[in-house]
Amino acid sequence: MTDKNLFSKIGFLPYLGALFLNAFTDLGHKIIIQNTVFKIYDEQTQIILTAIINSLILLPFILLFTPSGYISDKFPKHLVMKYTAMFSIVVTLLITLSYYLGLFQVAFGLTFLMAIQSAIYSPAKYGYIKELVGEHQISAGNAAVQSVTTVAILLGTIIFTIFFEMSLRDGYADESDVLKQIAPLGWILVLNALIEFYLVTRLPNTMPKAIKKKFEFKRYKNGYYLRKNLKTISRKPEILRAIFLLSIFWSLAQVFLSIFGAYAKTQLGIDNAIVVQGAMALSGIGIVAGSILAARLSRHYIHGGLVPLGALLVTLSLGVFLFVTDMKIIIGLFLLFGIGFGMLIVPLNATIQTRSPRIHLGTILAGNNFIQHILMILALLLTTLFAYMGLNSYTLFIGLFAVALLSGIYLIRVELIMFLWLLIQMLFTLRYKVVYRGLDHIPSEGAVLLLGNHISWIDWVLVQFPLQRRMHFMMERSIYHWPGFHALWKLGGAIPMSSRASKDAFAQARTYIKEKKMVAIYPEGGISHTGEMGKFYRGFEMVAKGGDGHIIPYYIDGMYGSLFSRSARHFGEYAFLRRTVTITFSNAISIHSSADEVREIVKNIKEENVTQ
């Protein structure tokens, strides 16, 4: 299913529109309060008040962890979004009234009420993605949601800051004067809330059947639900790890954006809110770009290599930030920060959604919010404490860089194979446009033998790219021991083979088959010099003997004559042009099929479409 089909799904566009307006409204009020603080207060006081604002936004996600998850699991998610949108209308009316009356403390406090709405809304909106688009398009759906939300934050930051500056006259004595002057902006919040409510009324019910769940306040009060829900989250280590990684990087982002205003004012001498908020908003453009790139690189499966790459970009941006004062460079660093951030949050969110059982999805997503927001509040409390102790914003930036660096190193160690594969994939994408057919024929578990024609030195690379399962491929022993590459081949699980030591290689491959893994073998025994298929040797039959699994025959079309093939034909004219390569996977057949049977299937695939 293409992205075009995704946007044509019933309810998907109203859903994105509602998310846009929800984020735009929440952000609008926050920007107004933050800019008021920016105008009235300096350095330590500004950092402390900004941290308190952000804490008020985060606290409901902790307090309402259990109820929000219960509501999202128990009731249809489109109805949860509908009633929280109604609540948003009431809150924005109260906020607008507080602006006109100049009640800064009330407006400040209403941030908490708006955050309550977001805390209940959040598990429902993220759980709705999986129900609306399905697991096959979960990465594209998350990228669309993240992009729309980020654009809303970007536009909200710019629009409300510009209107804020335009509404202010030269004279204002305190916070109350500022709020009274910008009070008409409140009606934008109200209008957004009304349109959002209309859009969520158009969302279809995607809940297949009602879930029987009971909520007992006594158990909520004594912490029973909290312990139970945290246990549910911790059942799958990959979910828990994704949640903690999201929490760490969201905490970094929160502190980064919280202290930049004070840094810009004291270190860079900038007191115009448009410049400050505009620079931070550019991280939003980066998040959109990073999310789109993440979705593109994860179109076949959720690519784990995106997370360490995104973390490295975040670390790089924070590291360079410490040494520059040129605002143009700083703007570029915000953009780089956003790209890295977008690249890592899309696969992490998708991992949580796809690995969570539907019956517990709301609870796990609420738990994700719970853990994220606890860590973010702790980070903001530490920021407040350090500011109170007299540490300036520059020192705090050093701390952020250290945390990002350690996180990046950890992620590279954990996801080293996928990280290297991602770098290789991005490099080869510049040169080859690969079209894959029949990927759904490849089993997601169990022993698999991949058998196909051998046209170039990089056939195994191109075959591996769309497969989430790691395959063990046979390669020439002399190449396996190349200096500088041996460790890489070993890490990737390659099987060294030579004409003199083929038995050991086949024995190793047979072991992998018995362990229910995936093995790739070239039945021709070498790279074709003519582009035509040669004889299929029976060595793989020894590997399959006594095993239980499937053979997936495939055919590679378009690599003959390339730089990595053994043909000199078209070398000078076409070798350095981007090539289109098609790899077609056939239906699974018995692992005990003969060499002649497999060759006949591969030959039939070839005859359907030949370009070489």
> pLDDT by residue (tens digit) across 227-266?
777 777 778 888 889 989 998 998 888 888 777 877 777 7
Which of 48, 143, 122 shows the shortest CA–CA distance to 80? 122
* pLDDT reading at 190 higher than 90: yes
H runs (alpha helix) in 389-519: 393-414, 416-429, 459-464, 477-480, 486-491, 502-514
Q: What is the 3-state secondary structure (H, E, C) of 183-195?
A: HHHHHHHHHHHHH
pLDDT at 601: 92
DSSP β-bridge partners for residue 553: 451
Yes or no: say if 339 and 293 are a contact pair by the CB < 8 Å rule: yes
Sign of CA dihedral 356, 359, 363, 369: positive
* pLDDT reading at 572 higher than 70: no
> What CA dihedral angle connects 309, 315, 320 and 322, to 10 degrees?
170
> pLDDT by residue (tens digit) across 141-187?
777 887 788 788 778 878 888 888 888 776 777 878 888 888 899 99
Phi, psi of 185 (to 5 degrees): -65, -20
How would residue 214 be classed by pLDDT, with cut points 50, 70 and 90?
low
Kindly state the helix (H) or strand (E) to which residue 139 belongs, with its residue range. Answer: helix 138-167
Share of the chain above pLDDT 90, in %: 17
Residues 47-71 have a mean pLDDT of 77
Instruction: Report how far apart, in Å, the C-alpha atoms of 472 and of each of 98, 298, 513, 521 are.
Output: 65, 21, 10, 9
> What CA dihedral angle connects 336, 53, 190 and 97, to 10 degrees?
-150
pLDDT at 199: 92
pLDDT at 1: 42
Q: Please tell me the distance from the alpha carbon of residue 23 to that of residue 14, in angstroms, as a whole number.
A: 14
How would residue 573 be classed by pLDDT, with cut points 50, 70 and 90?
very low
pTM of the prediction? Answer: 0.71
pLDDT at 55: 78
Residue found under tokens 């719970």: 370
How would residue 212 be classed by pLDDT, with cut points 50, 70 and 90?
low
Tokens of 340: 């890295």
pLDDT at 128: 77
Which of 562, 557, 612 shows the shortest CA–CA distance to 582? 557
Yes or no: say if 64 and 113 are a contact pair by the CB < 8 Å rule: no
Instruction: Report how far apart, in Å, the C-alpha atoms of 162 and of each of 26, 72, 167, 419 are.
Output: 17, 37, 9, 41
Residue found under tokens 């984020």: 23
Distance of CA 437 to the CA centre of its chain: 25
Yes or no: say if 86 and 190 are a contact pair by the CB < 8 Å rule: no
Domains of the chain and any CATH numbers: 3-426 (1.20.1250.20), 431-608 (no CATH)
Which of 39, 203, 28 shows the shortest CA–CA distance to 114? 28
Phi, psi of 389 (to 5 degrees): -80, -5
> pLDDT by residue (tens digit) across 429-447?
888 888 999 888 998 889 9
| Region of residue 9 (left: phi > 0; alpha: psi -120 to 50; beta: else) | beta
* pLDDT reading at 498 higher than 80: no
* pLDDT reading at 198 higher than 90: yes
Distance of CA 528 to the CA centre of its chain: 40
More confident residue, 201 or 270: 201
Q: Please tell me the distance from the alpha carbon of residue 585 to that of residue 604, in angstroms, as a whole number.
A: 12
Mean residue pLDDT of the chain comes to 82
Q: Is 227 exposed, middle or buried (0-12, 13-18, 19+ CB in 10 A)?
A: exposed
Q: Is 491 exposed, middle or buried (0-12, 13-18, 19+ CB in 10 A)?
A: exposed
pLDDT at 97: 94
Residues 276-299 have a mean pLDDT of 82
Residues 266-285 have a mean pLDDT of 75
How would residue 189 be classed by pLDDT, with cut points 50, 70 and 90?
very high
- Can you tell me whether residue 473 is helix, strand or coil? strand
Instruction: Report how far apart, in Å, the C-alpha atoms of 9 and of each of 126, 133, 135, 489, 602 are.
Output: 17, 8, 14, 43, 37
Q: Please tell me the distance from the alpha carbon of residue 358 to that of residue 186, in angstroms, as a whole number.
A: 39
Q: Please tell me the distance from the alpha carbon of residue 384 to that of residue 206, in angstroms, as a whole number.
A: 43
* pLDDT reading at 206 higher than 90: no
Q: Is 596 exposed, middle or buried (0-12, 13-18, 19+ CB in 10 A)?
A: exposed
> pLDDT by residue (tens digit) across 367-391?
777 788 788 888 878 877 877 777 7
> What CA dihedral angle connects 235, 241, 246 and 252, to 10 degrees?
130
Q: Please tell me the distance from the alpha carbon of residue 436 to that of residue 452, in angstroms, as a whole number.
A: 14
pLDDT at 451: 93
Residue found under tokens 């894959």: 436
Which of 21, 161, 15, 149 shows the shortest CA–CA distance to 92? 21
pLDDT at 215: 60
Yes or no: say if 14 and 143 are a contact pair by the CB < 8 Å rule: no
pLDDT at 211: 58
pLDDT at 2: 44
Tokens of 267: 């270190």
Q: What is the 3-state secondary structure (H, E, C) of 331-368?
A: HHHHHHHHHHHHHHHHHHHHHHHHHCCHHHHHHHHHHH
